[in-house]
Amino acid sequence: MVVITSVHIEDNLLLIGSHQKEKGQPPEQFRIVIPKIPAYFTGTGDLTTALLLGWSNKYPDNLDRASELAVSSLQALLYRTVNDYKTVGFDPQSSSLEIRLIQSRDDICNPQVNYKAEKYN
């Protein structure tokens, strides 16, 4: 299994993954297009790794599903973070934002899948 999490293309990020679903079969590649949020966050790489590891343990033969859940959790958390900063009048583009991890517990445990994996060659 291989996952590349930060390919920048215009205003989007791509998560690109490759995995062998069945032994003896060629690996399958997929991508998830993620709209880039115009802010800088602290801790997203560690959180992405943790989410991918956790969801991969639940779906060991389905890296694309695990990635959809991880990306959807992360994006919900980042949007919550930006909105919290904006609510108190802070410009989210002015410095690094501490992610709202505790406040986003439900988004982490039960994400609504808004970002879908698509086959990629």
- Return the beta strands (E) in the chain as ranges: 2-9, 12-19, 28-35, 40-42, 96-98, 118-119
Q: For residue 17, list its beta bridge partners.
A: 3, 30
Q: Annotated catalytic, 46?
A: yes
| Token representation of residue 45 | 């790489």
Gap between the Cα atoms of 34 and 99, Å rounded: 18
One of 46, 64, 91, 106 is an active-site residue; which one? 46
Q: How far is CA 120 from CA 5, 75, 116, in A?
A: 15, 21, 12
How many CB atoms within 10 Å of residue 51? 21
Task: List the catalytic residues.
Answer: 46
